[in-house]
Amino acid sequence: MATTGTDLSRMREMNQLSIVWALRGNPPSTVTELAGRTGLSRPAVDVLVQALVTDGWAAVEEPGARSVVGRPARRYRFRADAGHALGIDIGVHKVLVMLSDLEGNLVEAVRRPADPDADPAARLATVDAAIDELLDAAGMTPSDIWGMTVGVTGPVDATGRTSLFTPLPGWGEADPAGHLAARFRCPIQVENDCKLAAVAERWKGVAQDADDIVYLLAGIRTGAGLILDGTLRRGHGGAAGEIGALKAVRWLDAPGHLAACPGVPATARPGEAAAWVFQAAREGNREARTAVRRYTRDLAVGVAALVLALDPEIVVFGGGFSRSADIILDPLQRELTKHCLRLPELRTSTLGDESVALGGLRLALDDIDKRLLSAELAAPRAPRG
């Protein structure tokens, strides 16, 4: 622990930051309220918040009619629109880009379809076009973006590539961070999509109250993202959660049980086949129910391995198949009971296919905060990386 000495100026910075924290995420606040929240005296808060106003971090709110006695206080608000973050989901079938302000409020979102067989260059061109459209709609330039995260499939190594494996054709050699760095000066993170979805569930989804979470992505692909002690765990090589690679865990083949179900229309694409089976199972089709049972049996082994390894509080059931949670969750729970020592709570994701981009936003915002903490609080601009 390399605790370093503190002097007055550093103390002032800390107090100014503590006011930023007290301001952010709260309705416009009076000096007295801020003093109460930070433990500082009113005069101190007054001086500091005025410095924040001149720096552009805070703004004075026009007082509306208020029904209190006494002299109405000025109210200050955090200027969440001083900077913005981008969350980018580069999926197999779509590209989704989301823009939020510093408080995480969604400003714009642009979705574009993507060809599953597109090569990396074409895919990145789609991303560029989506970003252009989004920045245009929001009236912004690249310099307004302080941080961004790109979500991709497959484990991401330290260089931001997915060289280990990826279902996207040719993507193993792609370098999305390098590509975007040509236009954006801000730090650019690249992260696995399951991991980002896990982050999103803890931020705005069904796992906001938990610190130890296993996120299960169940769809054509199967994957997992881990949150332990409240923060995303990447593993030393970024491959944490890839339990599906274990032979005893048949995650690669598991969705095959659905596709192989007798009665599936021959013309159905993989996702449609699964939906057909789930619907048939709902209607009581025996063969479909068997297929679902086989699927969940395979799925459960991997989940159980993660649960036993990590002992999470919650398992979040996400991914494309989470729309059919009504038919999957019960058998999955039964299977897990067989395997696990202590069964964590099982919840179904509600974020839909926006979770990856949302998680990207959260990670970018976290990174901005971390840089804010270490940097001095000058005029609002992207704190240097």
Partner DNA sequence: TGGATATCGCTGGGCAGTTTACTAATTCCC
Partner DNA sequence: GGGAATTAGTAAACTGCCCAGCGATATCCA
Where along the sequence are the contacts to DNA (CB under 7 A)?
A: 5-9, 11-12, 15, 30-32, 39-44, 46-48, 65-74
Answer for the pair 156, 225: CB distance below 8 angstroms, yes or no: no
Other beta carbons within 10 angstroms of residue 379's beta carbon come to 9
Distance of closest approach, residue 313 Cβ to a second copy, in angstroms: 4
Distance of closest approach, residue 119 Cβ to DNA, in angstroms: 55
Residues 6+ apart with CB under 8 A from 359: 87, 149, 151, 191, 195, 196, 197, 198, 199, 200, 203
Among residues 220, 315, 330, the alpha carbon closest in space to that of 275 is found at 220
Distance of closest approach, residue 52 Cβ to DNA, in angstroms: 12
69 binds, among DNA, a second copy, none (CB under 5 to 8 A by kind): DNA
DSSP for 208-245, please give it.
TT-SSEEEEEESSSEEEEEEETTEE---TTS-TT-GGG
User: 111 or 297, CB closer to a second copy?
Assistant: 297
30 binds, among DNA, a second copy, none (CB under 5 to 8 A by kind): DNA
Tokens standing for residue 103 = 């408080």
31 binds, among a second copy, DNA, none (CB under 5 to 8 A by kind): DNA
Answer for the pair 335, 298: CB distance below 8 angstroms, yes or no: no
| Cα-Cα end-to-end distance for the chain | 22
Distance of closest approach, residue 168 Cβ to a second copy, in angstroms: 18
86 binds, among DNA, a second copy, none (CB under 5 to 8 A by kind): none
Q: Which residues bind a second copy (CB under 8 A)?
A: 1-8, 11, 14-15, 17-18, 21-22, 38-40, 44, 155, 164-165, 210-212, 226, 228-229, 231, 233-249, 301, 304-306, 308-313, 338-342, 344, 369
3 binds, among DNA, a second copy, none (CB under 5 to 8 A by kind): a second copy
**Sign of the four-CA dihedral 111, 113, 117, 123:** negative
User: 5 or 27, CB closer to a second copy?
Assistant: 5
Answer for the pair 198, 362: CB distance below 8 angstroms, yes or no: no
User: 19 or 88, CB closer to a second copy?
Assistant: 19
